[in-house]
Structure 1
Amino acid sequence: MLLTPLGTIKVFVNNKEVEFTAIKLDNLELLCPHVNGRYLIQFEYKKEFKIQEIKCCIPSIDVKGEIESGERLEAISFYKNDIKLTIGVEGEFTDYPKYIDFSGDYLSNGIQYEVFQTTASRKFNFGVCWIQPCTKENDTQTWFGADPNLMP
């Protein structure tokens, strides 16, 4: 689990909680220099697992999330008081992707990958980033900070 100012981040696979390691990352000097926390969570998916839903969420969150997608990025952000927290995943959510072999969905408390019978073995990445205080000037920093495409 990963403790954040908005609650504990947990990962579930087919609704069963799984252990994970959150890798602390440095801030990106140009894109997210002022964030307070920036983490990478990876799930090692094997083709033999077949169809799965891999969720990254804050089960105790009590605020509505806002969708903040981009090119090859799906992200959801939660605002509470002066805190903004974003969870991001790689890819673009569709019913059945033409160019990628997985999809996903937004949840009331996070975001998930959905893998298909045809999904190849790979690591699925979640980016988690938060900032406090969140202002109009630094609001986009968590969006960049939670983008797995900008992570090692």
Structure 2
Amino acid sequence: MLQTPLGLLYVYINNEQVKYNISELPLKPIEISNYKVDARYMIEIDKSQVKSGDIITFMIDTNIIAEVDGGDCLVEAMFESDDLYLAIGGYDINYHKSQSNSAYSFSVIKNGLEAEIIDLQYIDDFRVAIAWSDTNKEDYYTAVWFAADPYI
């Protein structure tokens, strides 16, 4: 289980806690930039556990309420305190596919992200990234925003 500075990260499928895999990602999400975060991880679950209609929840055990952020297809749950900025990000492909070809839909919830699985046949890749940075760093918001993008 991943221990973030705000609390543990839990993953649930239909309100039942599941194990997940954590992979470290480069701290500079874009090599040609100067953006660097304190930590950055890819969160993956075993897709064989998932079926159409399931709800997957990525939740931080914190009292800080997530704000909605993102852009284009990126949906991010952003948490901010005086000392830390943390984001969990996923791609909502509903922005690019017609409703009949949708695979899943992300939304920000009070303490994280939630994904509704619509149709497994369209899921080739399902990724969620998490990143955080000390707010004393220069342009920490932009750094965390990019770092929580699971495709960068």
Return the letter of the residue paired with 1:45.
K
1:36 Cα deviation after fit: 0.5
- Contact 2:107 2:114 (C-alpha < 8 Å) held by counterparts: yes
2:131 equivalent to 1:129: yes
- Show structure 1 runs of 5+ residues with no match: none
- Contact 2:26 2:40 (C-alpha < 8 Å) held by counterparts: yes
Identity of aligned residues (%): 26
- C-alpha RMSD over aligned residues: 2.4
CA–CA separation in structure 1 for the residues paired with 2:34 and 2:71: 16
2:25 equivalent to 1:63: no
Q: Normalising by the residue count of structure 2, what TM-score does the alignment of the two structures yield?
A: 0.84
CA–CA separation in structure 1 for the residues paired with 2:46 and 2:32: 30
2:39 equivalent in structure 1: 37
Richer in helix (by share) = 2
- Show structure 2 runs of 5+ residues with no match: none
1:9 equivalent in structure 2: 9
User: Which portions of structure 1, spanning 4 or more consecutive aligned residues, are displaced by more than 6 angstroms?
Assistant: none
SS of residue paired to 2:127: strand
Q: Normalising by the residue count of structure 1, what TM-score does the alignment of the two structures yield?
A: 0.84
Return the letter of the residue paired with 1:105.
S
Report how many residues are paired: 147
2:22 equivalent to 1:22: yes
Q: Can you list the C-alpha shifts for 1:34-84, whole angstroms capped at 9, x where unaligned? A: 2010000112334972310111111x2111211112112100110112100
1:140 Cα deviation after fit: 1.1
Aligned CA distance change for structure 1 residues 104 and 63 (closer, same or farther; 3 Å): same
CA–CA separation in structure 2 for the residues paired with 1:76 and 1:110: 6
2:92 equivalent in structure 1: 91
